[in-house]
Structure 1
């Protein structure tokens, strides 16, 4: 049991103590693919679609940013972080699919992978919510961490 960083010697959950870690610049980029279908994508003009709920991508980006900032409230063992920057990008890939990227940057003692993954998921969920009146066959898929810098390990998954 003691090999797990979030379990104490008694086998009880704990938050990792990052006191001894160095402050470094840390970034994480998460990506999701999302199937919207041609019925929804065909409504987009100039990379945006205005529904009765407002502009889809702009609203989803704001929601994703809020999600990043609230990650420690949603995931029990995540430390509250002072976020330096959040950049969310949504791209229409083809007549049915979009890609969503979320990059989070901090100077801190712990990574921001969970924040980037939360941001990309909340962005996609907001797109789903805003477009569900047209079609509920949307699929959020292939959510993954594509890059991480700072800390002990670095990841570059493309």
Structure 2
């Protein structure tokens, strides 16, 4: 953390919600990577592995990738103070992490005056929600999370790893 104190950027001087004005910022390459995990009951995970991650609704991974990508592009419609951004690249990877946890990772790139952390987090979590939706007929004990930012580059400070 830097020596200067940080403040909440989405509040105006009166403490009211406000969109950040980025008009004076320089457009630079911005990247972010986030993940969300989906934990299945052991029996459900075994059933999904045996099915090749297919459900009665279709291919779980393919559908989650499409949903996550759509969410990245529409983040500004879901989160009130996110700026609409031109998305230069979006990759969503989904794979098993252990016997019963599916790990979803979303990487997003743009060249703009503001970052894409919210887009990466939204993509990962909406992909996870899609997995839940497609698998809920098997169990309602599926757990989502944690969702977290793994890294970001560009802008005022870099965080984590890409």
Give TM-score, length-normalised by structure 2. Answer: 0.89
Q: 1:110 aligns with which of 106, 109, 114?
A: 114
Report if aligned partners of 1:60, 1:123 keep a CA contact under 8 Å in 2: yes
Say how many residue pairs are matched.
156
User: Which runs of no fewer than 5 residues in structure 2 stay unpaired?
Assistant: 1-6
In structure 1, the residue matched to 2:9 is 5
In structure 2, the residue matched to 1:124 is 128
Structure 2 vs 1, CA of residues 19 and 148 (structure 1 numbering), >3 Å: closer, same or farther? same
Structure 2 vs 1, CA of residues 151 and 101 (structure 1 numbering), >3 Å: closer, same or farther? same
In structure 1, the residue matched to 2:40 is 36
Matches within 5 A, 1:8-157: 8-44=12-48, 48-156=52-160
User: Which runs of no fewer than 5 residues in structure 1 stay unpaired?
Assistant: none
Q: Greater shift after overlay, 89-98 or 46-55? A: 46-55
The C-alpha deviation readout for 1:12-64, integer Å capped at 9, x for no partner, is: 32211111111111000001222012222223459942212110011011000
| Aligned residues: CA RMSD | 1.8
